[in-house]
Amino acid sequence: MTFDRVDVVLEIVKIAVVVGLLLNVVPIMVWVERRGSALIQDRLGPNRVGPFGLIQSMADALKFILKEDVIPLQAHKWLYTLAPMFGLIPALTTIAVVPWGRPFFIPTEIVYGPRVSGVCLIGAAVLAILAIALGGATAKYHRKPNYSKLNFTIGVIVAVSLFLGALALIGVMLGIKTAGAVHLPGGGRLFEPIIADLNVGILLIFALASLGVYGIVTAGWSSANKFSLFGGIRASAQMISYELSLALAAVSALMVAGSLRLTDIVGRQTGYFVLFDTVKIPAWNCFSPAMWLSMIVFIVSAFAETNRLPFDFAEAEAELVAGYHTEYSSMKFAMFFMSEYIAMTTMSALVVTLFFGGWDVPWYNEPPTVTGFLLSAISFLAKVGFLLFVFVWVRWTIPRLKYDILMKIGWKVFLPLAVANIVLVAWFIAMRWI
Amino acid sequence: MIEFAIFFFFAAIAVIFALVVILHRNPVVGALSLVASFFALAVMYVLLDAPFLAALQVIVYAGAIMVLFLFVIMLLNLQHGSEPATRPVQQFLGYAGSAFFGLALVYYLVKYTVLQLPPGPFLSDARAIGVTLFEAYIFPFEMVSILLLAAIVGALLLSGRGARPEVAR
Amino acid sequence: MIPTSWFLILSAILFTIGVCGFLTRKNGITMFMCVELMVNAVNLTFLAYARQFHQLHGLIFVFFVMAIAAAEAAVGLAIFISLFHHRETIDVDEANLMRW
């Protein structure tokens, strides 16, 4: 395998984009979770900081950073400090093998024209409107008698940076206009929107996901607290059990695609099949009857694997105070929070890739150009966003199960169902129905 | 060469964490170090053109077996119990014997293995492994599945309620 | 390409560490972990030779070793739990009922 400087730069750009998006998912999801729970429970939720309380998460993050970092006296200091990292690193790295857009050929040069100016001007206008709205809200907030300086400062900083972004976009447009046409260094080569296109992609995901349990177990043990230990032990038993049904449910999608590579799995789901000579249905796995069982098993196991309600026994508040992170404070606690939301995002991305066609836009054949790539990436993000909302939705509508019921469902219902579905899919493949 | 850098880095990690396993007194730290060592070995498998087995290594060893170890250590609450010291003679003999053994092994490996790697990439993807496994090795494969079943039954029998001694009342 | 003998040397070092731990430690579970370390060192050798001779059989053997290690871990840990229930310790010197 040979690669040159452009490949390295492209790879770094991909990693920066994906990790940046993943890290930004966390504050957005915290906001969605709080506002969503308020919506479901008929409350208001946080609505003070910024418009609709959008900047609340930033204030929270700042608070986490500024809080005192407490290490319990009895705790195993090294492991106590390392545990949040054990949790966060697998969550952050798993996304590397998930494709997030249509591969496209990078154009050799950008010629100034209505399309370029249109994109830049619309982008600048959106950013400017956001900046003005936020600035106005912040100014209004400033006139209130009991305003907090911190929130005000955050509002000003975000508004100014949005405004600077708009200015930068206009600057880019003017730069292209004066140059006439910009020659791109990596022009002509195929840009694959995936960090690492491995031939064992799905196995790598399961391998890294199985490492996520160490963060929780180590945290639970090293805190030297009974509740933490119980949370850690419960979590490890639960995650090991559900990993099995998760992997077995994914096997049926792999069998249909005939490959462990996630790009192949998505590639098989592009296009559509015609039902009754009239209805065009996208060829996503979720529309094929052989997959329904495994899809349900996979999604429910994904909830258990990410320790979300109705399966959040690792931190069941009513029973275990806060479970494995009872003793944690400050940024270490925030890191557990981050790893939970990032793991949720990765799981949603995986569900989308395996069952909802990945980046495929339904009823549309994306061309291998920048436009096709952008449309497919937006489609992927929209699907992942919807699934993330489902995670929140389920959390605030379904109560927590009992622990023995959870284990019983995992071993006695989901595992046999997943195995049965593999047989079903194999039969479908043998009869050439799929 | 980036390949050599990766090799030495992860080889160092594997050896250092393996040493932690045998030198550290706390079994929880030992188990976690062993996970790190196994992870470094998975990187070695990738360098040996066997990414499929590297993934299996992490899933089976790090994801299942070592979690089981940690689980048992935590359940039995072993970290506080102090391990009785081995007799000095025994300790010395252990270290000296294994050091001699290791040095001899490395000496002969350095002296006698002059292996020229064949050209071309080594194809070991999941498909090739699957075909070999289900054609040439189908009988051992079935035997292993029976073995796993026997292990499940045995583990249940050993750790289940029936095996506990009657507590004197 | 990294020469095969380097992997063999690494494997030899890891195997030696495993042997050393097995001989000097008394905690049953730590000894068990040392056995796992030795098994892994052997796996590395299998894979190194598989690449050396472009043979898939080495990979298949590693696959079997992993399956057997899983079975061994399940039974072995069950034995240690059982031992702990009987003796309240997993020091291997305490389990001396069958010793002559």
B131, amino acid identity: V
Cβ contact A214–B35 (<8 Å): yes
Distance between CA atoms of A339 and A218, rounded to whole angstroms? 14
HSE-up of C13 (CA within 13 Å, CB side)?
17
User: CA nearest C30: which of B156, A171, B25?
Assistant: B25
For A186-227, the DSSP string reads: TTTSEE-S-S---TTHHHHHHHHHHHHHHHHHHHHHHTT-HH
Which candidate in C4, C7, C27, C83 is best for mutational testing of the B interface (most B CBs within 10 A)?
C27
Give the residue, A187 or B59, on which the prediction is more confident: B59
From residue B54, give the alpha-carbon distance in Å to each of B40, B85, C44, C72: 10, 37, 11, 20
CA-based end-to-end distance of chain A: 35
Per CB-CB distance under 8 Å, the chain A contacts of B125 are 199-200
Contacts of B94 in chain C (CB under 8 A): 20, 23-24
Number of Cβ within 10 Å of residue B13's Cβ equals: 17
The helix or strand, by DSSP H or E, that contains position A176, with its residue range, turns out to be: helix A149-179
Q: How far is C1 from chain B (nearest CA, A)?
A: 8
Q: Which residues of chain B neighbour C77 with C-beta distances below 8 Å?
A: 68-69, 72, 155
Q: State the CB neighbour count (10 A cutoff) for residue B152.
A: 13
Reported ipTM: the value is 0.88
Q: How do strand A181-183 and strand A279-282 relate by DSSP bridges?
A: unpaired
Segment A389-398, tens digit of pLDDT: 888 888 888 8
CA distance B46 to B55: 9
Q: Report whether B127 contacts C22 (CB < 8 A).
A: no
pLDDT at B169: 40
Residues 6+ apart with CB under 8 A from A85: A215, A335
- Cis omega (within 30 of 0) on the bond before B140? no
pLDDT at position A345 over 60: yes
Query: Which among A209, A283, A231 is positioned nearest to A253, based on CA atoms?
Result: A283
CA A14/CA A6 separation, integer angstroms: 12
Q: Is B88:C39 a contact under the CB 8 Å cutoff?
A: no
Look over chain A and give the mean of its residue pLDDT values, rounded to a whole number.
Answer: 83
Nearest Cα of chain A lies from the Cα of B116 at a distance, in angstroms, of 21
Q: Report yes or no on chains C and A touching (3+ CB pairs under 8 A).
A: no
> For residue A281, what pLDDT is reported?
78
Token duo for residue A185? 């260094």
Q: Which of residues 36 through 75 in chain C touch B, CB cutoff 8 A?
A: 36-37, 40, 43-44, 47-48, 50-54, 56-57, 59-60, 62-64, 66-75
Q: How far apart are the C-alpha atoms of A173 and A177, rounded to whole Å?
A: 6
pLDDT above 70 for A317 = no
- The secondary element (H helix, E strand) that includes residue A172 is helix A149-179
Size of interface B-C (CB pairs under 8 A): 236
Query: CB–CB of A208 and B28 under 8 A?
Result: no
**What count of Cα atoms within 13 Å lies in the side-chain half-sphere of residue A262?**
34
Q: Which of B22, B122, B147 sits opposite C68 (nearest CB)?
A: B147
| Residues in B touching C12 (Cβ below 8 Å) | 102, 105-106, 109
Question: Among partner residues B14, B114, B150, which is closest to C10 by beta-carbon distance?
Answer: B14
**Cα nearest neighbour of B83 on chain C:** C27
Residues of B in contact with A237 (CB under 8 A): 71
Contact between A379 and A360 (Cβ < 8 Å): yes
CA distance C40 to A399: 44
pLDDT (tens place) for every residue of chain C, 100 residues total: 788 888 888 999 999 999 998 888 888 888 889 999 999 999 999 998 888 888 888 889 999 999 999 899 888 888 888 888 877 777 777 777 777 6
Query: Which tops the pLDDT comparison, A251 or B78?
Result: A251
- pLDDT: which is higher, A83 or C98: A83
What residues in B contact A236, CB-CB < 8 Å?
67, 70-71
* Contact between C60 and C83 (Cβ < 8 Å): no
Neighbours of C100 (CB within 10 A): 3
* Residue A193 near residue A100, CB atoms below 8 Å: yes
A207: nearest CB among B35, B55, B126: B55
Q: Model pTM greater than 0.90? A: no
Instruction: Give B120's contacts in chain C (Cβ within 8 Å).
Output: 54
In chain C, residues with a C-beta closer than 8 Å to the C-beta of B17 are none
pLDDT in single tens digits along all 169 residues of chain B? 788 889 999 999 999 999 998 888 888 888 999 999 999 999 999 888 888 889 889 988 888 888 888 888 887 876 655 566 667 888 888 888 888 888 888 888 887 766 677 777 777 778 888 888 888 899 999 999 999 999 989 888 887 765 455 554 4
Name the pLDDT band for A186 (thresholds 50, 70, 90).
low
Q: Are A222 and A80 in contact (CB under 8 A)?
A: yes
Higher pLDDT, A113 or B19: B19
Q: Give the nearest chain C residue to B110 (CA atoms).
A: C5
| DSSP state string for A110-127 | EEPSHHHHHHHHHHHHHH
A12-48 tens-digit pLDDT: 888 998 988 888 888 888 888 888 888 888 888 787 7
Q: Is A50 helix (H, G, I), strand (E, B) or coil?
A: coil
- The residue among C8, C38, C44, C59 with the most chain B CBs within 10 A of its CB, best to mutate, is C59
Please count the other Cβ atoms lying within 10 Å of the Cβ belonging to residue A117.
15
CB C25 within 8 A of CB B86: yes
Contacts of A78 in chain B (CB under 8 A): 29
Distance CA(B102)–CA(A30), nearest Å, equals 54
A208: chain B residues, CB-CB within 8 Å: 58
Phi-psi region of C55 (alpha: psi -120 to 50; beta: other; left: phi over 0): beta
Distance CA A213, CA B54 (A): 19
Q: From the CA of A211, how many Å to the nearest CA of chain B?
A: 6
- Between A297-301, A425-429, B125-129, the lowest mean confidence (pLDDT) is in B125-129
φ and ψ at residue A136, rounded to 5 degrees: -60, -45
Beta-carbon separation of C29 and B11 below 8 A: no
Return the number of other C-beta atoms located less than 10 Å from residue B108's C-beta. 11
Number of Cβ pairs < 8 A linking chain A and chain B: 70
CA distance B109 to B115: 11
Say yes or no for a CB contact (<8 Å) between B35 and A200: no
pLDDT of amino acid B168: 44
Q: Which of B159, B164, B166, B167 is most worth mutating to test chain C (most C CB atoms within 10 A of its CB)? A: B159
Token output for A425: 């899919």
Q: CA–CA separation, C56 vs B124, rounded Å?
A: 7
Give residue A360's pLDDT band: very low, low, confident or very high (50, 70, 90). Answer: confident
